[in-house]
Structure 1
Amino acid sequence: MARGHSPTVRRRRLASELRRFRESANLTIDEVGEKLECSASKISRIETGHVGVTPRDVRDMLELYGIDEDRRDALVQLAREARQKGWWHAYNEVFTGSFVGLEADASSLHTHQALLVPGLLQTEEYMRAVIRAIRPDMDDARIDKMVKGRLVRQRLLTDPRPPEYWAVIDEAVLHRATGGAEVMHAQLTRLAEAAALPHVTLQVVPFTAGAHAGMETPFLILGFPEQADPDVVYVENTTSGVYLEQESDVRRYTMIFDHLRAAALKPDDTLDLIQRAADRLATVSHSTKGAGRDRF
């Protein structure tokens, strides 16, 4: 998994540049479509990053906008890079949209979850329990494919140049015995191990905090190392997600995350809480096994 070479981020940057150059040339999308003999909807989809664009189309657009040759050549090369396939294309049934491609190039990931362990920190058995609960109609082969793709995605946190990862979760996540006591004990152990990594920060918002800013929906704020790639917020829903790129939206979710961090336990206190929850589950698991032996 090569970090810093995501074609999704390249396509997003290219789309932004093409839109900026068109606006600087005082041309509308309709005018560009007419001059290049293509539909206005094609130009619109290119500028929003919803479709790829050929190097030839990029060159034609930039010539129309009066961009100098050196700058044209650089963006044509960017178009070539944007057309390459990332590792996630092998799991296109698992990962829809551009989320994983953006995540692969992010320098910082700030996430909040109120119901589930964040995906990058889930154990395999926890994943399977979650998928089976959410999609009871899904067959084993499909589940296996989803789990395999998600495990490959988790390599991001063990990459030689990992992103700075900060997760704030609700205390309810620790107490919902997803998959049973044994699976959940292993999951809590995994959380404690991940929190020990130098680039990972984990905090829990305790029940005693009462109502908090993240109760409405889970979200992820993706930050990028290049100024040309502005931050983006990914807001999850049941079947997909919404990308928010307006500066006002990013600022609003950044403020929400700041409030969550302030309401949450400190990282060391979070680890203590996780360990206590894990110890209780270990006791439950041991008692259950012992009761099972007594019956036979």
Structure 2
Amino acid sequence: MLRNRRKAAGMTQKQLGDLIPLSQSMIAAIELGNEVPSAPTGQAIDNAVGADGELAAMWHHVRKDLQLQATHPIWSIGYLAAEAEATRIQHFANVFPGVTQTEEYARAMIEAANPIFGGNVEEKVEARLDRRVILDRDDPVWFWSILDESALYRVVGSHEVMCGQLSRILELAQRPRVVFRILPYDRGMPCGVVSIGALLLLSRPGKNEAVYWESGLNGALMETPGEVEVYRAFYDHLDLEALPPRASIDLIRKAREEHHAHCTHH
């Protein structure tokens, strides 16, 4: 956009840079997408090439993209957009889904991953908690989660953190559009699959069903019908093996009270 506007105004990169002022190399880097100017500089560039606010408006979108890249793995950014517009999400994993996590559980997860992925822990925690809005908005998403039983017992952070997380799950399960079911140890994994990481199927208005798969170190958003069909079949088999909602809630409550012995929640 900047290159097109600059050329339409009959300016070289050096001439535009002299007006701001910025070096020619910086103007080139901005045009290549390798640098993002500050908001005031972006407005000055907009004025210089006569963009009538278009470039200044684009700056906010670019900054938002950069913020997402700073707080989320690059492979998950496409999923975040799909999550925000989904009307129904079906989830499976051996950890609690991000949109259901307490602040303490989220921080413990992010801190544990930080030696690998780096970044600002508190910014990542805030970004994860912001995603919970899909459950709290006026027209909340239908959220159905199948949890591997190990999610109930593996200590993330501390027993107290786990107690708070399990209490959060029990509270969410009382909402009419939220369902949790447990895949117990003695059922095994369908289709001979040993492990699949996190799996989410998303229904969105006017679009094909999408699948997001994540291993913890990588992930992919898939939208082609053939790919989605494979994961849909796997999830349907999970659905057959998982405990009913009421029995699942009983198991979650039992895990909170018996396994996390220092739990103070009731």
TM norm. shorter chain > 0.5:
yes
Q: Which runs of 5+ in 1 are unaligned?
A: 1-81, 287-296
2:181/2:245 contact within 8 Å kept: yes
Distance 2:232 2:62 in 1: 28
Secondary structure of the residue aligned to 1:161 is coil
2:222 is the alignment partner of 1:216: no
* Cα RMSD (Å): 2.5
Which residue number in structure 1 is paired with residue 215 of structure 2?
237
2:175 is the alignment partner of 1:225: no
| Amino acid in the other structure paired with 2:96 | V
2:85 is the alignment partner of 1:108: no
Secondary structure of the residue aligned to 1:166 is strand
| Amino acid in the other structure paired with 1:135 | N
Tell me the number of residue pairs that the alignment of Structure 1 and Structure 2 aligns: 201
TM superposition score normalised by structure 1: 0.62
- Runs of 4+ aligned residues of structure 1 deviating over 6 Å after TM superposition are none
Distance 2:246 2:63 in 1: 35
1:122-160 Cα distance to aligned partner (Å, 9 max, x none): 111111111122223677x70000000011111111111
Which residue number in structure 2 is paired with residue 125 of structure 1?
104
Show the 5 A alignment for 1:239-258: 239-258=217-236
1:88/1:149 contact within 8 Å kept: no
TM superposition score normalised by structure 2: 0.69
Distance 1:86 1:132 in 2: 27
Q: Which among 59, 63, 70 is matched to residue 93 of structure 1?
A: 70
Q: Which among 175, 180, 188 is matched to residue 166 of structure 2?
A: 188
1:187-234 Cα distance to aligned partner (Å, 9 max, x none): 1001111111111111100112123356333211111121xx111111
Secondary structure of the residue aligned to 1:98 is helix
| Amino acid in the other structure paired with 1:246 | T
| Amino acid in the other structure paired with 1:255 | A
| Amino acid in the other structure paired with 1:101 | A
1:168/1:203 contact within 8 Å kept: yes
Distance 1:266 1:150 in 2: 28
The share of aligned pairs that are identical, in percent, is 29
Secondary structure of the residue aligned to 1:222 is strand
Show the 5 A alignment for 1:11-50: none
1:221/1:234 contact within 8 Å kept: yes
Alpha-carbon distance change, 233 to 84 in structure 1, aligned in 2, over 3 angstroms: farther
1:182/1:281 contact within 8 Å kept: no
Alpha-carbon distance change, 84 to 143 in structure 1, aligned in 2, over 3 angstroms: closer
| Amino acid in the other structure paired with 1:103 | E
Distance 2:189 2:116 in 1: 34
Which residue number in structure 2 is paired with residue 291 of structure 1?
none
Which residue number in structure 2 is paired with residue 42 of structure 1?
none
